[in-house]
Amino acid sequence: MNKQKFLNEIKANLKDFKKDEVKRIIEYYDEMINDKIEMGICEEDAIRSLGDVNDITTEIKTNLLGERSNNKATNSLKNFLLILGICTSPVLLPIGIIFTVLFFLILILIATLFLSIGVTSISLFVFGIVNSIEMIMIGENIGIIMILLGLSFIIGSFLSYLTLQLYNVGKVILNYINKLFLKIIKRKRVVNNV
C-alpha cells in the first residue's frame, strides 16, 4: 500500500469527525511516514510498521472522543453514535449493547425529569394567572390574590431554573458515561491486542 492510499483510508474512516481534526491526523501520519522514509525505510515497510488502518483509526476515534468528552460543550448524542461505531467489532459488541442500554435509560430518565419539572413550572404560571383572574371576578381580597400570584411565580421560576440545571447535569452525566465506556473500550482493546 502506498502512502496516499493509506492516508485516504484513514481519512475515509474518520469522515464523521471535524475536518480540522482529520487534517491534523493526516498531517501527523504523513510526517511520520516521511520521517521513516528519510531514515532509509521504504514506503511500504514504513506504512506496514504503523499497523492496520482499521486499528489505527479505531484508536484515533477513541482518543478523539475521549478529548471531546472532557469538553462540556460537546454533543453527547453524537459522541454516543461515534462510540457505537467503534463497538462494531465482535469483541466489543457486548460492551456496545450495554453502553446503548445504559445511555438510553439515563437519557430517558433525564428527559422524563426535565419534562415533568418543566411542565409543572409552566402549569404553576398558568394556574397563578387563571386563579388570580377568577379570584378578582368573585371579589376576593386583593392582598390574598397578590400573595398567591407571587407564590406561583416564585415557585414556577424556581422550577424553571431547576429544569435548566437538570439539563446541564444531564449533559455532564451523559458525557461521563461516554468517557467511562471509552476507557472500557481502550482497556478491552489492550487486553485483546496482547
Domain spans, the chain = 76-193
Q: In 3D, which of 53, 115, 124, 60 has the Cα closest to residue 86?
A: 60
Q: How far apart are CA 125 and CA 171, in angstroms?
A: 27
What confidence score (pLDDT) does residue 189 get? 65
Mean pLDDT value of segment 44-58: 83
What confidence score (pLDDT) does residue 71 get? 64
pLDDT tier at 161, thresholds 50, 70, 90: very high
List Cα–Cα distances, 53 to 5, 26, 47, 144, in angstroms.
10, 12, 9, 73
Quick: pLDDT tens for 11-36: 888 887 888 888 888 888 888 888 88
Q: How far apart are CA 128 and CA 152, in angstroms?
A: 5
Half-sphere exposure of 41 (CA within 13 A, CB side): 16
Three-state secondary-structure class, residue 71: coil
CB atoms within 10 A of CB 107: 17
Mean pLDDT value of segment 38-63: 83
Q: How far apart are CA 22 and CA 156, in angstroms?
A: 46
What confidence score (pLDDT) does residue 194 get? 43
- 68-72: long-range contacts, CB 8 A cutoff, minimum separation 24: 69/175, 69/176, 69/178, 69/179, 69/182, 70/179, 72/171, 72/172, 72/175
pTM of the complete model: 0.60
What confidence score (pLDDT) does residue 114 get? 87
Quick: pLDDT tens for 60-114: 887 777 776 666 556 677 777 777 777 666 777 787 788 888 888 988 998 898 8
Lowest mean pLDDT segment, chosen from 130-134, 143-147, 189-193: 189-193
